């Protein structure tokens, strides 16, 4: 007897940072959480990312991630595949959506498919239908106002900055030691440096000019304090790393001042070089807070009022190590400074009934909640409908 479709639904949420998949059980974390990266056969240890800036570059490699998640991790059996709800990144093209449907129906023979926008699902996962999603990925950050479950497309923004920039900034701040670290080691060092920071609100702040950090000067002159706050950590691959306190405080600034950090390659700041606290309004790439402010200004007053009640800063790094370092508080503070005194933005934290750390997988949790409804009410594209209409069925339906 065939398994009812509602009991065999897998929710998939992926971007350029992590690939997350799991059965439609919103009370627990996704069973599969993998970096969106693969090793190409015959090319040694080279890591390839099939998704760049949240756009699929290699469908064959992405298909291998799906196969690994479905058959090896979640236990699907060929010939008895279930349904899939996919969280679709912002600005996904019609052609990519149809290619996704073609891959899932023809390569994996799924019984049904539902596609929903990532910002909407992220707010669902945090118990909201209106708000603004600030989704910090690996190489890009998407900011999307959402009102009554629909993205305000005209106000949505994407900026080319993400957790990768924090890792690269940390590598630059470490000098020669950072230059010897691989991409994976830098990512691990970034997370360790952010998670142990004890002064997140002091470190993540917008400067007013060429100011000097008094705490940094103390760290350089007080050997006892430096020893206390210096991070000596062992990375998952066994490598050891030592991160000075100033590097720990400054690396996360890269998501707020990307152009300034890009200009400081080699990072002389540790040796008393130019300040990184200056805000350059002429920079070509928005920082996270600047993209959020631009998105809010592009909304109508009514839309802005609805969105300010729930500012959701989420993502693999932003909802984990970034949150521990005070990223969400910094973004809220910057937004509040840019708005009139009468406008008070509020953070969108996870409801009490959600698992701890739901901000890391907010879109996946939203998909798990929505999947309980859409498949039971037959709002999805069925296998029969796909074979009747082809890949265009997914465009007509959603």
Q: Smallest Cα–Cα separation from 295: which of 284, 309, 307, 283?
A: 307
Full 3-state SS string of 224-286: HHHHHHCEEEECCCCCEEEECHHHHHHHHHHHCCHHHHHCCCCCHHHHCCCCCCCCCCCCCCC
Q: Are the C-beta atoms of 327 and 204 separated by less than 8 Å?
A: yes
pLDDT of res. 229? 63
Q: Measuring CA to CA, how many Å separate 345 from each of 26, 79, 121, 310?
A: 27, 50, 20, 7
pLDDT of res. 196? 61
Written as six digits, the tokens of 34 are 């993998």
pLDDT of res. 227? 42
Bridge partners of 151, per DSSP, are 146
pLDDT of res. 200? 39
pLDDT of res. 95? 96
Measured between alpha carbons, how far is 315 from 234 in angstroms, rounded to an integer?
24
Domains and CATH numbers, the chain: 5-126+354-397 (3.30.420.40), 131-161+286-338 (3.30.420.40), 163-271 (3.90.640)
Binned average pLDDT, 10 residues per bin, the chain of 398 residues: 62 94 92 88 72 94 95 94 96 96 97 97 96 96 97 96 91 84 87 64 40 43 46 79 83 86 48 32 69 96 95 93 90 94 90 84 96 94 95 90
Written as six digits, the tokens of 314 are 């989420």
Burial of 250 (0-12, 13-18, 19+ CB in 10 A): buried
| Radius of gyration for the alpha carbons in the chain, expressed in angstroms and rounded | 22
pLDDT of res. 44? 56
Written as six digits, the tokens of 361 are 């997988």
pLDDT of res. 246? 81
pLDDT of res. 212? 43
Measured between alpha carbons, how far is 361 from 145 in angstroms, rounded to an integer?
19
């Amino acid at each position: 007897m065939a398994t009812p479709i509602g009991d065999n639904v897998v929710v998939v949420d992926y971007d350029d940072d992590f690939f997350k998949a799991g059965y439609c059980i919103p009370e627990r974390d996704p069973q599969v959480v993998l970096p969106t990266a693969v090793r190409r056969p015959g090319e040694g240890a080279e890591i390839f990312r099939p998704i760049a800036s949240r756009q699929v570059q290699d469908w064959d490699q992405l298909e291998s991630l799906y196969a690994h998640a479905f058959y090896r991790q979640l236990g699907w059996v060929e010939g008895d595949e279930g349904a899939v709800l996919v969280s679709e990144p912002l600005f996904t093209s019609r052609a990519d959506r149809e290619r996704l449907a073609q891959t899932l129906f023809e390569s994996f023979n799924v019984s049904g498919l539902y596609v929903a926008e990532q910002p909407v699902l992220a707010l669902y996962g945090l118990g909201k239908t209106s708000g603004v999603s600030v989704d910090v990925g690996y190489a890009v950050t998407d900011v999307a106002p959402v009102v009554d479950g629909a993205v305000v497309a005209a106000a949505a923004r994407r900026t080319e900055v993400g957790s990768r920039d924090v890792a690269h900034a940390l590598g630059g701040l470490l000098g020669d030691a950072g230059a010897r670290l691989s991409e994976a080691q830098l990512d691990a060092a970034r997370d360790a440096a952010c998670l142990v920071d004890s002064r997140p609100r002091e470190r993540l702040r917008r400067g007013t000019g060429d100011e000097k950090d008094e705490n940094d000067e103390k760290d350089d002159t007080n050997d006892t304090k430096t020893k206390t706050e210096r991070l000596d950590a062992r990375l998952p691959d066994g490598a050891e790393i030592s991160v000075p306190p100033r590097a720990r405080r400054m690396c996360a600034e890269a998501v707020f001042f990307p152009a300034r950090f890009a200009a400081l390659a080699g990072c002389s700041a540790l040796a008393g070089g130019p300040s990184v606290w200056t805000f350059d309004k002429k920079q070509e790439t928005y920082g996270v807070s600047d993209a959020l402010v631009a998105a809010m200004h592009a909304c109508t007053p009514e839309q802005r009022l609805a969105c300010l009640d729930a500012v959701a800063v989420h993502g693999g790094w932003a909802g984990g190590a970034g949150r521990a370092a005070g990223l969400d508080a910094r973004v809220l503070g910057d937004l509040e400074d840019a708005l009139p005194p009468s406008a008070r933005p509020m953070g969108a934290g996870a409801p009490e009934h959600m698992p701890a750390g739901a901000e890391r997988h907010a879109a996946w949790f939203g998909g798990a909640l929505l999947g309980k409804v859409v498949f039971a009410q037959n709002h999805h594209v069925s296998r029969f409908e796909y074979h009747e209409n082809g890949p265009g069925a997914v465009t007509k339906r959603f």
